[in-house]
């Protein structure tokens, strides 16, 4: 008889409820762990139950479409099926809440974080004992030299905000924690914080790593996409000749191959060729010059925190007559009256009016050219 409650049916109901509860609990545990690992915060209230119940609902929906029933041979509109669904979602919801908390605690252990209930006795004790320090960020958020500017809306959100940190941190650790907080909170690539001797925030600068090809183009050069017949030996970064497709093979211009997609090639050419005919199909010929590694260096530079700044040595500054090795960061090039000295040795002596290209992180490099000599003096002391 359809609908009779037998021991076999009871066993199937129990197995189904437990199985769905385990499925929801696994989803909730993994979500709680992943959210804490990525954001260093507890998952928002209700996130893990919703995710777990969604997984259960998707499984049951797929089962109903495939077999036309959820429980034994009972129809979907049977009262036992309805009771089975109710019991399944109730058990799954309760288990998911518990599993999400377990996953959050595992995430805290994995990243070495000890969370404190913001409304609990421990947090109140800390506040009353003044063990936390509130740092007020300045109202004007600057931009890091050498990086793309952060949009105004994000800078306004950062400006004037307050960040609470443990009071027993050293100034260096306080600065590192504050920079990491701003990076994670506002999804910013580069943050440079300067602290006062009293441990207060003096300056905050933010920036984003350059993206796209435009940031790597030298002055007077443009990148254009053309239809082209590729040579089999051409690779990215090779100097190439762009020739006419006609029989004469007339040379149009020269450039650098930057990318290929089928019969479309992206080439870097002089800006006077920015309006090159895109409808014609050109022939690309690899030039006999040896290819350089400059494109690889530029690509690697975009993936790290370091940037390149130009410093000018003043004739009356303390840097004149000193060694390159005393510069902050790594000296890449010295331009001395038109003579280029790539990767100078540490014992190379700086001369007045030298232009020096330096690779370093924002906290190593001086903010602009004129103060460079002052910073070098501080480095020497």
Residue 238: give its domain's CATH number: 2.40.30.270
Residues 98 and 164 in one domain: no
Q: Is residue 273 part of a domain?
A: yes
Say if CB 163 and CB 181 are below 8 A apart: yes
Number of structural domains found in the chain: 4
Q: Which tokens hold the place of 51?
A: 């995710």
Residues 144 and 89 in one domain: no
Query: Considering 207, 225, 245, which residue would you say is the last residue of a domain?
Result: 207
Residues 186 and 154 in one domain: yes
Instruction: Give the range with max mean pLDDT: 156-160, 219-223, 296-300.
Output: 156-160
Distances (CA, A) of 59 to 28, 67, 164: 15, 12, 44
| H and E: helices and strands count for the chain | 8, 14
3 state DSSP class of 143: strand
Q: Is residue 117 part of a domain?
A: no
Residues 242 and 284 in one domain: yes
Q: Which domain holds residue 256?
A: 214-293
Alpha carbon 8 to chain centroid distance?
A: 55
Question: Average pLDDT of 69-82?
Answer: 77
Residue 26 in this model has a pLDDT that exceeds 90: yes
DSSP secondary structure string, 150-181?
Answer: PPHHHHHHHTT-EEEEETT--HHHHHHHHHHH
Instruction: Report the distance separating Cα 202 and Cα 61, nearest Å.
Output: 57
Instruction: Note the pLDDT tens digit of each residue in 219-246.
Output: 677 778 888 877 666 666 778 888 877 7
Q: Which tokens hold the place of 258?
A: 């930057």
Residue 363: give its domain's CATH number: 3.30.70.1450
Residue 367 in this model has a pLDDT that exceeds 60: no
């Amino acid at each position: 008889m359809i609908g009779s409650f037998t021991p076999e049916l009871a066993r199937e109901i129990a197995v189904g409820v437990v199985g769905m509860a385990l499925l929801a609990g696994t989803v909730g545990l993994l979500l709680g762990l992943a959210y804490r690992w990525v954001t260093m915060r507890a998952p928002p209230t209700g996130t893990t139950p919703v995710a777990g119940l969604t997984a259960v609902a998707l499984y049951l929906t797929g089962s109903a479409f495939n077999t036309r029933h959820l429980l034994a041979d009972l129809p979907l509109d049977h009262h036992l099926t309805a009771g089975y669904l109710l019991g399944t979602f109730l058990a799954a919801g309760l288990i998911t809440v518990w599993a999400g908390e377990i996953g959050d605690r595992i995430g805290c252990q994995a990243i070495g974080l000890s969370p404190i209930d913001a409304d609990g006795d421990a947090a109140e004790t800390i506040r009353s004992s003044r063990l936390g320090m509130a740092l007020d960020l300045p109202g004007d958020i600057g931009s890091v030299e050498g990086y793309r500017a952060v949009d105004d809306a994000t800078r306004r959100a950062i400006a004037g905000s307050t960040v609470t940190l443990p009071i027993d941190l050293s100034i260096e650790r306080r600065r590192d924690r504050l920079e990491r907080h701003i990076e994670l909170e506002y999804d910013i690539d580069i943050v440079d914080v300067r602290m006062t001797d009293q441990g207060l925030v003096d300056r905050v600068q933010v920036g984003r790593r350059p993206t796209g090809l435009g940031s790597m183009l030298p002055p007077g050069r443009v990148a254009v996409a053309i239809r082209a017949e590729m040579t089999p030996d051409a690779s990215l970064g090779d100097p190439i000749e762009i020739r006419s497709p006609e029989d004469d093979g007339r040379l149009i211009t020269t450039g650098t191959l930057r990318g290929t997609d089928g019969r479309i090639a992206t080439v870097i050419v002089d800006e006077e060729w920015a309006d090159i005919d895109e409808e014609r199909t050109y022939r690309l010929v690899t030039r006999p010059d040896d290819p350089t590694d400059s494109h690889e260096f530029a690509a690697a530079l975009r993936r790290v925190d370091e940037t390149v700044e130009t410093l000018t040595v003043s004739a009356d500054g303390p840097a004149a007559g000193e060694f390159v090795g005393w510069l902050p960061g790594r000296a890449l090039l010295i331009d001395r009256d038109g003579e280029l000295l790539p990767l100078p040795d540490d014992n190379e002596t700086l001369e007045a009016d030298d232009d020096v290209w330096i690779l370093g992180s924002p906290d190593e490099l001086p903010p602009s050219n004129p103060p460079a000599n002052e910073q070098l003096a501080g480095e020497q002391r």
